[in-house]
Amino acid sequence: MEQENQSVLDKVRAAQECVWINPDREDIDQARKSLELTMADIDDAERRLQRFAPFIEKKFPETAPRGGLIESELVEIPRMRERINEKYGSGLKGRLLLKKDSHLAIAGSVKARGGIYEVLKHTEDLAFADGILKPGDSCAKLADEECRRHFQQYTIQVGSTGNLGMSIGIMSAAIGYHTVVHMSADAREWKKRLLREHGVTVLEYPSDYSEAVKRGREQSDRDPKSYFVDDENSRTLFLGYAVAAKRLIGQLKDINVEVNEDHPLFVYIPCGVGGAPGGITFGLRQVFGDAVHCFFAEPTQAPCLLIGMATGKNHDISVQDLGLSGRTDADGLAVGRPSGFVGETVKTLMSGDFTVEDRHLYDYMRDLLDTENIFLEPSACACFQGPVMLHRLAERYLSRYHLEEKAENAVHIAWATGGSLVPPEEREKYRKTYR
């Protein structure tokens, strides 16, 4: 395995597209023994989101059709499946689905799960501590103007390349917090503008994501009434993402999809620091056990989690240590150093990691628009590298788990992480971009 890891790292150094297969993946019964978090933690997070549903519905009427729950559609994309087989010679069998976290209410990205959940948990903790909420009260009470004025004495801060900042910023501002988002140079201008329109303070740094997080944490630590959302280490964020797995059970059932040993489920998720794909993977393995196979996707210039996992160094190594720039058009994935907490947690859970060149992000974006008339931002389109490359780069994984003979019964989910809030003029720029 050490030789295989070295071969992959050689390709990573050369910024070549590759796949890393996780040699430490374990059966779920064995993996659970070493996990800090459990299914009970996911259940607790799910109940908290249900408690806040009346508040969310009151503050964000667009969530009314789902009763205040923030959830996305799961749709089949058969024409995109045909395109990737015809255009890229992928040989993909089974059904291809798109999980449209790109269209989640409020924040328009997967960060609406973890980011909003962490803000709500902190708000509930404060509300009980301050006597704003009492046992038996509805969380809808927190939408009142009196409560809003109460929360104005508190600050929430976060470091972000864009989407996490939007989820934290929009929800925090709606509750009443003074909100500060520390943004790296990779963040898109339109995301900064949208946050400011919501009354959020945006501080910009000429450096990368890790520096924005560091500066944000330092500033927050100086204020006893400030709370810092730590994307690198937060268990709360992680559990917010994990709830998605329980929601997926009913969605798969609705479209007659079975998940079991003979009907494997493959999931492909874009990865930055690791929180969203890590939390989703943790939830999926808890729910579907060994029948689900979770792959991450990262840019060739910023595959921080792959490097952390393949070297075993996790947070103690950066992409720059291997001679990579960390710069990528996939702004949400422009992270140089992975989360050590996530790396340790998914070590026995994830299946592998694909890397993708920026030019292919735009190709996949146009392919999806042409075939299904669905727009995703470029970073979200990293999710298609898995189904495109699975049978070309991951043959030994398929062979190891005897998955080739089950290919016709397989279901593949490309997890779309963002895009619905991208302004029309930015979409047009993306559509015309070729690398």
Tokens for 427, please give them.
Answer: 């979409």
Q: Cα Rg for the chain, rounded, in angstroms?
A: 21
Task: Tell me the CA distances in angstroms from 184 to 40, 143, 155, 213, 250, one per residue in order.
Answer: 35, 32, 20, 9, 38
Each residue's pLDDT tens digit in the chain (435 positions)? 577 888 999 999 999 999 999 999 999 999 999 999 999 999 999 999 999 999 999 999 999 999 999 999 999 999 999 999 999 999 999 999 999 999 999 999 999 999 999 999 999 999 999 999 999 999 999 999 999 999 999 999 999 888 999 999 999 999 999 999 998 877 889 999 999 999 999 999 888 788 888 899 999 999 999 999 998 899 999 999 999 999 999 999 999 999 999 999 999 999 999 999 999 999 999 999 999 999 999 999 999 999 999 999 999 999 999 999 999 999 889 999 999 999 999 999 999 999 999 999 999 999 999 999 999 999 999 999 999 999 999 999 999 999 999 999 999 999 999 999 999 999 999 999 998
Whole-angstrom distance, CA of residue 431 vs CA of residue 435: 12
First to last CA, the chain: 34
Question: With the CA atoms of 279, 283, 284 and 288 taken in that order, what torsion angle do they form, in degrees rounded to the nearest 10?
Answer: 160
Q: Please, are residues 164 and 115 in contact by the beta-carbon 8 Å criterion? A: yes
Residue 143: which of 62, 58, 64 has the closest Cα? 58
The SS3 of residue 93 is coil
Instruction: Provide the edge-to-edge strand list for the sheet that holds 226-229.
Output: 201-204, 178-183, 155-160, 226-229
Closest by Cα among 267, 264, 284 to 410: 264
Please state, in angstroms and rounded to a whole number, the distance separating the CA atoms of residues 191 and 195: 6
Instruction: For residue 153, give the amino acid letter.
Output: Q
CA nearest 97: which of 411, 348, 334, 403?
411
Report which of 333, 418, 331, 399 is spatially closest to residue 98, judged by C-alpha positions. 418
H-helix or E-strand spanning residue 306: helix 304-311
- H or E, element range at 370: helix 358-372
CB 155 within 8 A of CB 225: yes
Q: For 32, which DSSP code?
A: G
Tokens 């999980």 belong to: 99
- CA–CA gap between residue 318 and residue 322 (Å, rounded): 7
Residues 6+ apart with CB under 8 A from 216: 157, 158, 159, 180, 182, 203, 228
In angstroms, the CA 357 to CA 363 distance is 10
pLDDT digits (tens, 9 = 90+) for 106-122: 999 999 999 999 999 99
Sign of CA dihedral 163, 165, 168, 173: negative
Strand order in the sheet with 74-76: 19-21, 352-356, 292-299, 265-270, 411-416, 95-100, 74-76
Q: Are 4 and 309 in contact (CB under 8 A)?
A: no
Kindly list the structural domains of the chain, giving each domain's residue range(s) and its CATH number in brackets, ordered by start: 2-107+236-431 (3.40.50.1100), 111-233 (3.40.50.1100)
What's the token pair of residue 224?
Answer: 């006893």
Question: What single-letter amino acid sits at 8?
Answer: V
CA distance 31 to 339: 19
Residue type for position 415: W
Contact 355, 389 (CB under 8 A): no
> Would you state the pLDDT for residue 1?
59
- pLDDT on residue 208: 78
Question: Do the strands 19-21 and 352-356 form a parallel or antiparallel pair, or are they unpaired?
Answer: antiparallel
For residue 435, the model assigns a pLDDT of: 85
How long, in residues, is the chain?
Answer: 435
Query: From start to end of 351-420, where are the E strands?
Result: 352-356, 411-416
Distance CA 382, CA 416 (A): 9
